[in-house]
Amino acid sequence: MNAPIVTLATSADYADLDEDDRGLPDALRERGIEPRIAVWNDPGVNWADAGVVVLRSVRDYAKNRNYTDFLAWAHSIRRLINHADVVDWNSDKHYLKRMAELGVPMIPTTWLEPDAGYSKHQVHTRFPAHGDFVVKPAISSGGRGTGRYTATDAKSRADAINDTMHHLGRGRSVMVQRYLEEVDRKGEVSLVYFNGVLSHAVEKAPMLHPSFRSVDEVHEEIVTAREPSEQEWLWGERVRKAIHTIIKERSGRDIQLLFNRVDVVGDGQGGFYLMEVSLIDAGLYLGSAPAALDNFADAIAQRVFW
């Protein structure tokens, strides 16, 4: 009897997978699965023979020239996990508006839409008057296009205006958020779930130092594994409940998520803000936390042999 096939979908920039995922093929072989690696937009790949397709390092999906093609590709895959319906809404950070409506606190955000035709002056008036702030496109991957700026520094503010106009001019919605000092003090926390079960948590060091700008580069992360606090665990469950509400609203049914990474940051008052829910190309920190790689391989095997 032939072993079931699992194809790990990646991008041309990570044709051999992200470094963090490179132990995954061997872990799948140990579980009686034939692993394959394929670039999602490689015309030479026969996806009809790909078996179960697991999204991994597809970090170019958010580029303008790829985005529509990527969504179409996702819907063409019969056994894609996470499901293409989930890919649709999670690829655009406007989903955070719905999460907020469902009671999940998020950083107050000013949304700038490309069809509004903003002038540079109008963009300027929508930035905070003081402190540091962050500009990011609503459709992005790996922190690409995100920058931190200082409201009272003329050059930094001008850079923020130019970068915002860059995104808007390419048809990208833009998010403007005040930079939280809590990120500098404690960093972000990522909670990683496999098949709905919390696998591990990591603390991420601040990535955006005060002079950082990134129009199209991917940010590198520094992470440390640690046990989540009870409060963080409870917060993650609150976020997961909202995620599955959105899934049911959008798909008309619940969909089990193979992987789910929830990023939160303290609000400085004992609670948390949701930063992001990563269901497409999420880095899962498989090499940073004990048992994380085995947990993920087990989760994939469970889906293959169901």
**What residues does each domain of the chain span?**
5-90, 95-105+181-305, 109-178
Contact criterion met (CB below 8 Å) for 102 and 245: yes
Q: pTM of this prediction?
A: 0.90
Average pLDDT over residues 211-232: 69
Is-same-fold flag (5-90; 109-178)? no
4-33 per-position pLDDT tens digit: 999 999 999 999 999 999 999 999 999 999
What CATH number has the domain spanning 5-90?
Answer: 3.40.50
Average predicted confidence (pLDDT) for the chain: 91
Statement: residue 156 has pLDDT above 80: yes
Mean pLDDT, to the nearest integer, of 154-173?
Answer: 95
- The predicted structure's pLDDT at residue 207: 57
- CATH architecture designation of domain 109-178: 2-Layer Sandwich (3.30)
**% pLDDT > 70, the chain:** 93
Residue 199 has φ and ψ, to the nearest 5°, of -95, -50
- Residue 267 scores a pLDDT above 50: yes
Could you tell me which CATH number the domain at 95-105+181-305 has?
Answer: 3.30.470.20
CA distances to 63, 65, 223, 290, 294 from 171, rounded to whole Å, are 11, 11, 33, 42, 41
Scan for tokens 């999460």, then name that residue.
99
Please tell me the predicted confidence (pLDDT) of residue 145: 83
* Alpha-carbon gap, residue 82 to 54, rounded angstroms: 7
- pLDDT value at position 215? 47
